[in-house]
């Protein structure tokens, strides 16, 4: 049986998030100048998203598809031409993280945090990286600080719940998940994470109900399907 502690992770719809971060502007252009970077980034991310079936987001760093690699390099060049454009920095951090390049992702995130305001999307990714690196004390401290800056961020609440869960602080994790749902996190994802909490606490019947709810609301959500099959196995 899969250890549920390896399954609880922050799940983000990467491309829609980045498209939303890159505010639409007038004319789209690919000129590598710091001229209308929102529009440049939006076009590049849209092209990258259109090629998602070719692995443009979930790519293997040693053998990326050539067109996907070209688009990623254009986005990285945009971060040099427009070094203060936060959506471009965040996009590059996400791409580096997807490539398994945590140090590179953190470099982009550190540049974002130089700006004195809240950046909840970047903070959620930084917290996720710390969790994946096994640095739970830092993850908890960092996420607590960021939640104080952006208390209405559902993504921060979900990521913080993951850190609490892995520290076996189940009641606190449940509280954060319910707060995240109230702030807009989809019920299918919250139900799955609540199922992990119930399973870890030994309440397997409740866990099954929550996994079933997650599958019902999002039939394509493979982690919930896997946990449900595992618990129903004789």
d(CA 143, CA 115): 17
pLDDT at 21 > cutoff 50: no
Tokens for 196, please give them.
């992990």
Does position 5 have pLDDT exceeding 90, yes or no?
no
Tokens of 133: 């690196």
Top-confidence residue, 105 or 52: 105
The per-residue pLDDT for range 26-70, each reduced to its tens digit, is: 333 344 468 889 999 999 989 888 876 655 665 554 444 578 888
The pLDDT, as a whole number, for residue 48 is 84
Tokens of 147: 């939640």
Structure confidence at residue 39 (pLDDT): 93
Separation CA 125–CA 229 (nearest Å): 30
Q: With 60 as the cut, is the pLDDT of residue 227 above it?
A: yes
pLDDT at 69: 84
Nearest C-alpha neighbor of 24 from the set 6, 35, 36, 38: 38
Residue spans per domain, the chain: 1-115
- Stretch 92-113: mean pLDDT, rounded? 93
Cβ count within 10 A of residue 67: 13
- State the pLDDT at residue 129: 97
Band (pLDDT 50/70/90 cuts) for residue 232 is: confident
The predicted structure's pLDDT at residue 115: 85
pLDDT at position 35 is 84
Q: Structure tokens of 14?
A: 């990467």
Q: Which pLDDT belongs to residue 53?
A: 60
At residue 34, the pLDDT reads 82
Q: What band does 19 get if pLDDT is binned at 50, 70 and 90? A: very low
Q: Kindly report, residue by residue over 132-169, the tens digit of the pLDDT.
A: 999 999 999 999 999 999 999 999 999 999 999 999 99
CA distance 109 to 49: 22
User: Tens digit of pLDDT for each residue in 182-225?
Assistant: 999 999 999 999 999 999 999 999 999 999 999 999 999 999 99
SS (H, E, C) the chain: CCCHHHCCCCCCCHHHHHHHHCCCCCCCCCCCCCCCHHHHHHHHHHHHHHCHHHCCCCCCCCCCCHHHHHHHHHHHHHHHHCCCCHHHHHHHHHHHHHCCCHHHHHHHHHHHCCCCCCCHHHHHHHHHHHHHCCCHHHHHHHHHHHHHHCCCCHHHHHHHHHHHHHCCCHHHHHHHHHHHHHCCCCHHHHHHHHHHHHHHCCCHHHHHHHHHHHHHHCCCCHHHHHHHHHHHCC
N-term to C-term CA, the chain: 12
Which pLDDT belongs to residue 88?
95
């Amino acid at each position: 049986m899969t250890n549920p502690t390896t399954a609880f992770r922050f799940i983000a719809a990467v491309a829609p998030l980045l498209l939303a971060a890159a505010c639409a502007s007038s004319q789209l252009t690919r000129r590598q100048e710091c001229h209308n970077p929102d529009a440049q980034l939006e076009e590049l991310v849209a092209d990258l998203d259109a090629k998602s079936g070719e692995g443009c987001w979930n790519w293997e760093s040693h053998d990326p598809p050539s067109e996907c690699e070209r688009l990623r390099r254009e986005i990285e060049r945009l971060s040099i031409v427009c070094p203060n454009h936060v959506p471009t920095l965040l996009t590059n951090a996400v791409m580096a993280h997807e490539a398994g390049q945590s140090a590179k992702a953190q470099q982009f995130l550190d540049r974002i945090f130089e700006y004195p305001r809240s950046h909840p999307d970047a903070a959620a990714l930084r917290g996720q990286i710390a969790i994946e690196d096994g640095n739970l004390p830092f993850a908890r401290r960092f996420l607590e600080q960021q939640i104080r800056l952006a208390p209405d961020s559902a993504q921060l609440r979900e990521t913080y719940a993951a850190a609490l869960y892995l520290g076996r602080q189940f009641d606190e994790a449940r509280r954060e998940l319910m707060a995240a749902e109230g702030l807009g996190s989809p019920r299918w994802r919250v139900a799955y994470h609540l199922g992990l909490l119930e399973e870890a606490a030994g309440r397997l019947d409740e866990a099954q109900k929550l996994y079933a709810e997650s599958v019902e609301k999002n039939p394509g959500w493979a982690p919930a399907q896997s946990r449900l099959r595992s618990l129903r196995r004789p």
